[in-house]
Chains A and B, each alone.
Chain A
Amino acid sequence: MLEYEIVVIGGGPAGMAAALSARNSGISRVLLVERAEVLGGILNQCLHLGFGLTYFGEELNGPQYAARFIKRIEQSDFKVLTSTTAISLQGDGKVILSGSCGLLEIKAQAVILASGCRERPIGSLPVTGTRPAGIYTAGMAQKMVNLGGYDIGSKIVILGSGDVGMIVARRMVLLGKEVIAVIEKEAVCGGLLRNQIQCLEHYGIPLWTRYTISRIHGQKRISAVTVQNLENGREKYIECDTLITSIGLIPEQELAEEAADGDVIPPWLFLCGNACYVHDLVDDVTREAEYVGRKAAEFVKTLKQPGSRMLEGDAYSAHQEQAPEENPEKASLSQEKPQNTFCIACPKTCKLTYTSQGWEGAICGRKDPVIAVR
């Protein structure tokens, strides 16, 4: 069995930043595992701009943002395994990896789970009718169009005004497709105002708020949807050949659940990025992941010095510390002390309040909550 001090699961923005940060905090045996053939995660399919504004102080697209971290990883000396999936995370810190190189059992002193999130499937909604081809989640559509180079349809309805849905709506218009409407059940747009303006308004894509899709039509390929006005119940029949859904993102925490004993996440397990909770901006993901990487490094170091447990409240000072070499391009971490935040060490993401006793509110009893940077 191979042994590593820190294993990072997931080579997207969170995993890359966490692994770099752990290595830069003095941990020599770090392993970064990514299931795709290349690092970068979902950034690779995000051809649009809007990344890096707060972290790098300039506007990048997804692959450019990823490339900066990939370059740093290439210059670093820790182990990276691509085309490798973590299929099991056991309570004793054993990670099982599956890749074309074989099945690897790895004993880790600490694990950082940066597995991202998945999209909520349309099957979870009470939408009736048939289940034909031509229904895609926004992320799936984005990947098929941007990375696969595939044409997935030309008369499109989008359900849900999440950010990915709006970005995909604009992308489809840029490809010469017709986006009939973005349908949102709430009274306001679900995503960032910036995307509502830049993706929908600038491209003349209608946003229908207080509407939902009540029925799907078509036997083989989708042929229409019935759209319902949630204020008065009236329905409209809209012909389309494609439905793209953007109805919510769910953190992928199944490995953490496997390692947990009931609801209690083991102390050696850290979560970051969208695997922890869904973020609006990748810049925030990077900063939090760097912080979690440092925390995991500290945890591994304390294991080596028995008797010198970290004191409560140390977490916050750790958060304030900033290793300047981590971001030579721009240092922009806020020094303000947040009054309310939450712990990102486990899927519970407990709300924390800073008091004279330190951070309070972690219901798992964790003595050293990992603070989200907000």
Chain B
Amino acid sequence: MSCYDVIVIGGGLLGCFAARNLMRYKLKIALLERREDLCTGISRANTAIVYSGYDMKPGTLKAKMCVKAAQEFSALCAELGVRYSPCGSIMVCFGPRGAQMLRQKYEQGLESGVRGIKLLTPQEVLQLEPNISPQVVLGLYTPDTGTVIPWELGIAAAENALQNGADILLNTEVTDIVPSENGFKVHCGSQTFETRGIINCAGLLAAEILEKVSSPKVRIFPSGGDYLILDTKAGGYISHVIFHEPEHKDKGLTLVPTVDGNILIGPSEVPVEEKNFFATTGEGLATLRSLVAEVIPSLPLEHVIRSFGTVRPNPYWVHQDPLSGRYVPEDKGISSFTILESTPRPFLSLIGIKTPGLTCANELGIYVADKMAALLGKVPPNPAFNPRRPAPLRLNDLSWTERAKVIKENPLYGKIVCRCRKISEGEIIDSIRRQPGAVTVDGVKRRTGSGTGRCQGSFCTQRIIEILARELGCSPAEIYKDSKGSYLICKEGGS
């Protein structure tokens, strides 16, 4: 039986950063993920924004963390070898209600210490973003907003944790947690691990994991949202993150000029059924289109190359209905970060961490790691901790001379596999051989960007399946799109 000091449950963004920051201490750590890859839940479907922090109530943990994290985000990304676009944001509104909201957010931002925040006249908005509807009445600018690819960040944090000695165990689903003499026994099917402490970062399943050690006070009631992605051809239409504060609807529009040069539009707010997580809805997509017409009417929606759905993990305090046994949510839901500490053994849960969870992922990781170290008592720091993760080679970031040199050393970097994003076979092989490496087509996609271009993988998917099969020593029929069962090629004699 393997013994650990701390087990982190869940390999999403928060789990990866919790594991990374635990390595700052002399601790034996394991990160358990039930799927075959990291960042496959909400971490792969969100708005990709680093918020500057004016949305949150000043003085709260959320506001403090967010403001600090946004100001340090470039440094974090440099440390982890992750691409970051500190593009700034402009919030726009088209009427008196929105203007009032913007002024309120401006005051909040000032109070929280958001750097460089300022209100913009319509002329100033249009000067910075000429494609915004001229009906705009007020803008709110902050320079510290940015955009990052969430899974790129999460995978980088996990690689960094691994590089510092953490164990990352994929395909390992927690089935039971039993208190033991020194902490907990964590059962994962036929495997059992002994650990002194647990950090629960199980995302949508966090309440269920918590339930295994204490009676639930909190439950996640998910809602859904839809997104659209525009081809890089439309990329030049905006240069900042655009937030829209609506007059009549509950939810405005967000437009993000992504690191890869696309525009991400969304999310809408729609109800979600459990069996249809991550599905898009007609209503949600139609709302996005009508909001685009209001906010940025000239945006060429004919360049849409993909739509996708997300799930928001809304946390609520609950009580159990004595008659039906069902959990009934209380009041309006929890707006603060929900970090629960269960006693008597060290068990921390991050539950329903929504916006700005991506922004604060590293800060939250530090927070829970420090707290866990305190709970375990007398944990010395790890002097060997290296916060720098060597970035993968990205040929598109190199000059022609550098690229020529790389190809000369390894000819596989000359063979282009994904023609839309110009991703080479060398980069794809690297994404598979890195630890923890890609084992699925979407795993390669998340690490290299292959298949995210305008053909959406129709030219390169077969090639990527074949490279994966060759590298992993299996048959192409054993390569999945995303998770077990999502087969792309049928096995002989039926699938």
Contact = CB atoms under 8 A, between A and B. Distances in A.
Interface of A: 35, 83, 85, 87, 96, 98-103, 105, 118-119, 121-124, 126, 128-134, 136-137, 139-140, 143-144, 148, 150-154, 214-215, 219-221, 250, 257
B416 A87 contact: yes
Contact of A118 (B400, B404, B455, B488): B455
A152 B490 contact: yes
A215 B456 CA distance: 19
A260 to B, nearest CB: 13
Q: Which among A87, A119, A131, A153 has the greatest number of chain B C-beta atoms within 10 A? A: A131
Nearest to B401: A103
B201 to A, nearest CB: 22
Given A128-B282, A129-B279, A150-B476, A98 B461 contact: no
Contacts of A85: 415-416, 419, 422
Nearest to A138: B458
B127 interface: no
A214 B278 CA distance: 16
Nearest to B415: A100
B411 interface: yes
Contacts of A128: 279-282, 285, 307
Given A100-B411, A144-B462, A35 B419 contact: yes
Contacts of B184: none
Contact of B483 (A118, A123, A151, A220): A220
A123 B462 contact: no
Contacts of A148: 462, 466, 476
Nearest to A136: B458
Contacts of B229: 123
A123 to B, nearest CB: 3
B470 interface: no
Nearest to A250: B454
A103 B403 contact: yes
Secondary structure type dominating chain A contacts: mixed
Contact of B487 (A101, A123, A126, A133): A133
A152 B486 contact: no
Contacts of A152: 488-490
A151 B485 contact: no
Contacts of B487: 133-134, 220-221
B455 A119 contact: yes
A144 B486 CA distance: 17
Interface string B449-462: 00000111011011
B305 interface: yes
Contacts of B308: 131
A215 B309 CA distance: 13
Nearest to A257: B233
A151 B489 contact: yes
B77 interface: no
A136 B276 CA distance: 21
Contact of A121 (B400, B455, B476, B486): B455
Contacts of B278: 130-131
B339 interface: no
A103 B411 CA distance: 10
A144 B489 CA distance: 9
A220 B485 contact: yes
10 contacts: A96-B400, A124-B304, A126-B286, A132-B481, A140-B461, A148-B466, A151-B490, A152-B489, A220-B485, A257-B233
Contacts of B481: 132-133, 220
A250 B466 CA distance: 26
Contacts of A153: 490
A353 B462 CA distance: 44
A317 B285 CA distance: 52
Contacts of B480: 133, 220
A87 B459 CA distance: 16
Contacts of A96: 400
Nearest to B303: A124
Contacts of A101: 411, 414
A123 B455 contact: no
A35 B458 contact: no
Contacts of A124: 302, 304-306
